Chain A
Amino acid sequence: MNNIRKNRVKDQAFKYWGIACTFLGLVLLSVFIGSIIVDGVQRIDWDFITSLPSRKAERAGIFTALMGSIWILIFTTIIALPIGIAAAIYLEEYAKKSKLASLLEVNISNLAGVPSIIYGLLGLEVFVRILQMGASVIAGSFTLALLILPIVIVSTRESIKAVPKSIRDASFALGASKWQTVSQQLLPASFGGILTGIILALSRAVGETAPLIVIGALAYVPFAPASPMDEFSVLPIQIFNWISRPQHGFETNAAAAIIILLLITFVMNGIAVYFRNRWQSKLK
């Protein structure tokens, strides 16, 4: 009898421990975001967003970094999207169970686990140096595109896989070729899921710092990029740079810039979740 009661108590205790653990990370994150908002929100105004960088903390703004992030985001999408979706279609619909397919599969799973800084080293040697792109927007975009490629491929495959087999059957039975089936049935039906995966991958790209530092992106760039061959900075590098400075004013700047970066990240994640939910309910 006693033993049973003891087990009951343990059971209840674990339940509360589980709840505590579940909320621990979220509570810490909220505390942190709260403290950043307290630190940084009064620093955010139109000037902060439209000002060029400066050595004086109170005059410095994030304009060049923000523009850099947008440029990088656009070109990363342009490069990663077609390759990632095409690779996913190949793996899911064409290459089933061949030797090449299983090699590709191991390889992609491995690439997904390669630290981002290693992609920086690859980009530094191949894009910056061998292909002579310099520390430009385009070199940075290629580097990040390769970094998010495995994520795009995996999520696109999942979305295509979620389309019921009966749709494929129906399309083939009407005399459609493989590509017609893929382009006119599978891709439209999995569009919502693919979109979700891509937005999540891009939200990862927008927060990446290390690989861009390695390829030589600068903390101080006097002007926003005007072409893909220009040098650039991005928001996370700007933040990193401000964190590394001793003067207190820059810490406030960093907090303010973090608010903007988090806003971008969370909005992208929110949009992604919205598309996923809408798509999932539509597929059923």
Chain B
Amino acid sequence: MPRIIPLDHMRKLKETVIERGLQASALVTIAVTVGIILVLSFEAILFFREVSIIDFFTDTQWTPLYTDKNFGIITLLSGTLLTSFIAIIFAVPIGLSISIYISEYAPRSFRKTIKPALELLAAVPTVVYGFFALTVVTPFLQTFIPGLAGFNSLSAGLVMGIMIIPFVSSLSEDALHAVPNSLREAAYGMGSTKLQNAFRVLVPAASSGIVVSIILAISRAIGETMIVAIAAGQQPRLTFDPTVPVETITAFIVQVSLGDVQHGTLEYRTIFAAGITLFIFTFLLNTISYKIRKKFREKYE
């Protein structure tokens, strides 16, 4: 009879080597984050040696590519916030309505087919959406908004809204779906309609999941590049008028990258200063949503 032989060292070694290899692959993701932070801050620090950080936040003009240089990031930020705001205002009510309809009204089989179809909206490359905004939506809006410029934040924002609908609807629907059935039945037992039930019981119960979906949609809108680069224009302007051309942080980075920018110049560093601003914004939003999601998951487990 074979005895329980002691440790097989070769085999143990092989297992350890494999585990270390797998671990190293996982650590690549940490390296990416560290890399992003180092690269952005390194170039941004060089940038702020030449440009006062106070001007960066208080100046109301952004003209780094002209001879008379101004570096007021607020100008780009206003473009980013304006287009994102339009997108969110458009996508959140629609996305939420979709999620309530699918989880409470629609038959089960419908849910299975419509979800992948909606996710197709997020799969379309953004450059294609940009083309859509520029060549279809803007001319269409111009027929009843006479003053609308060829490049404007309105159509860029609306099209971005279409793109992020599935972000809102899919995650919110998951959250509604996770609400225990007992809660639904209790409310129906008291004679409420589906609509009353949805808004008075289910939406509050699923609120953290819905908030997460909205935060992620905002983060996505802020970081979106091609739609705004194509359809919103490339004219930095501190404005909240949706009918005129603006420039977002992302569109500025694209604009500079399309030119031939030498490493080590102030222009080169400008895109990193703009980039770190964008990164901080999305990082905060993502962290908040992660925290909420984690709490939410614990609640239901």
A interface vs B, CB < 8 Å?
7-8, 10-11, 14-15, 17-19, 21-22, 24-26, 28-29, 31-32, 35-36, 82-84, 86-87, 89-91, 94-95, 103-104, 106-111, 113-122, 124-126, 129, 146, 149-150, 153, 177-179, 200, 203-204, 206-210, 213-214, 216, 236, 239-240, 243-244, 251, 254-255, 258, 261-262, 265-266, 269, 273
Question: Are B195 and A11 within 8 A (Cβ)?
Answer: yes
A90 contacts B23, C-beta separation under 8 Å: yes
Q: Which residues of B are interface residues toward A (Cβ below 8 A)?
A: 11, 14-15, 18-19, 21-23, 25-30, 32-33, 35-36, 39-40, 42-43, 94-95, 97-98, 100-102, 105-106, 114, 116-118, 120-121, 123-128, 130-132, 134-136, 162, 165-166, 193-196, 198, 216, 219-220, 222-226, 229-230, 250, 253-254, 257-258, 263, 271-272, 275, 278-279, 282-283, 285-287, 289-290
Determine if B124 and A87 form an interchain contact, defined as CB atoms under 8 angstroms apart. Answer: no
Known contacts A15-B105, A35-B136; decide if A90 and B275 are in contact (CB<8 Å).
Answer: no
Q: A102 to nearest B CB, angstroms? A: 10
The 7 closest A-B pairs by CB, nearest first: A115-B223, A18-B101, A207-B125, A86-B25, A113-B286, A90-B22, A210-B225
Between-chain CB contacts (< 8 Å), 19 pairs: A21-B101, A22-B101, A26-B118, A29-B162, A35-B136, A90-B19, A107-B29, A113-B285, A114-B282, A121-B39, A121-B272, A125-B39, A129-B263, A149-B29, A203-B123, A236-B125, A240-B127, A243-B127, A269-B123
Cross-interface CB contact of B29 among A153, A179, A206, cutoff 8 Å: A153
Most buried by A among B106, B125, B162, B278: B125
Most buried by A among B27, B117, B123, B127: B127
Contacts of B126 in A (CB 8 A): 207, 209-210
Flag if A104 contacts B32 (CB, 8 Å).
no
B124 and A29 within 8 A (CB): yes
Beyond A116-B225, A125-B42, 14 additional contacts (C-beta under 8 Å) are A7-B196, A11-B193, A18-B101, A21-B94, A29-B162, A110-B286, A114-B36, A115-B278, A120-B253, A126-B39, A149-B29, A207-B127, A244-B230, A262-B125
Enumerate chain A residues within 8 angstroms of B123, measured Cβ to Cβ.
200, 203-204, 207, 265-266, 269
- Are A109 and B124 in touch, CB under 8 angstroms? no
Question: In the complex, how many angstroms separate the beta carbon of A140 from the nearest chain B beta carbon?
Answer: 13
Q: Which residue of B lies closest to A39 (CB)?
A: B135
**Cβ of B257 and Cβ of A214 under 8 Å apart?**
yes
Total number of A-B contacts with CB less than 8 angstroms? Answer: 249
A118 touches B162 (CB 8 A): no
A14 adjacent to B26 (CB under 8 Å): no
CB of B93, distance to nearest CB on chain A (Å): 8
Chain B residue contacts of A31, Cβ below 8 A: 136
Chain B residues, Cβ within 8 Å of A206 = 125
Q: Is the CB of B257 within 8 A of A261?
A: no
Chain A proximity of B62: nearest CB distance (Å)? 17
On chain B, the residues within 8 Å of A116 by CB distance are: 223, 225
From A84, A125, A177, name the one whose CB has the most chain B CB atoms within 10 angstroms: A125
Contact yes or no, A118 B101, CB < 8 A: no
CB neighbours (8 Å) of B40 from chain A are: 118, 121
Chain A: minimal CB distance from B113 (Å): 11
Q: What's the Cα separation between A35 and B101 when bound, in Å?
A: 29
Q: Which of A7, A22, A24 contacts B102 (CB 8 A)?
A: A22
The answer to whether A115 and B224 touch (CB under 8 A), given A106-B290, A107-B29, is: yes
Once the chains bind, are B254 and A117 in contact (CB under 8 Å)? yes
The answer for the CA separation of A216 and B271 in the assembled complex, in Å, is: 13
Least Cβ distance of B212 to chain A in Å? 11
B131 touches A117 (CB 8 A): no
Q: Which residue of A lies closest to B14 (CB)?
A: A179
Q: A121-B39, A122-B39 are in contact. Are A240 and B230 (CB under 8 A)?
A: yes
C-alpha spacing A106/B27, complex, angstroms: 13
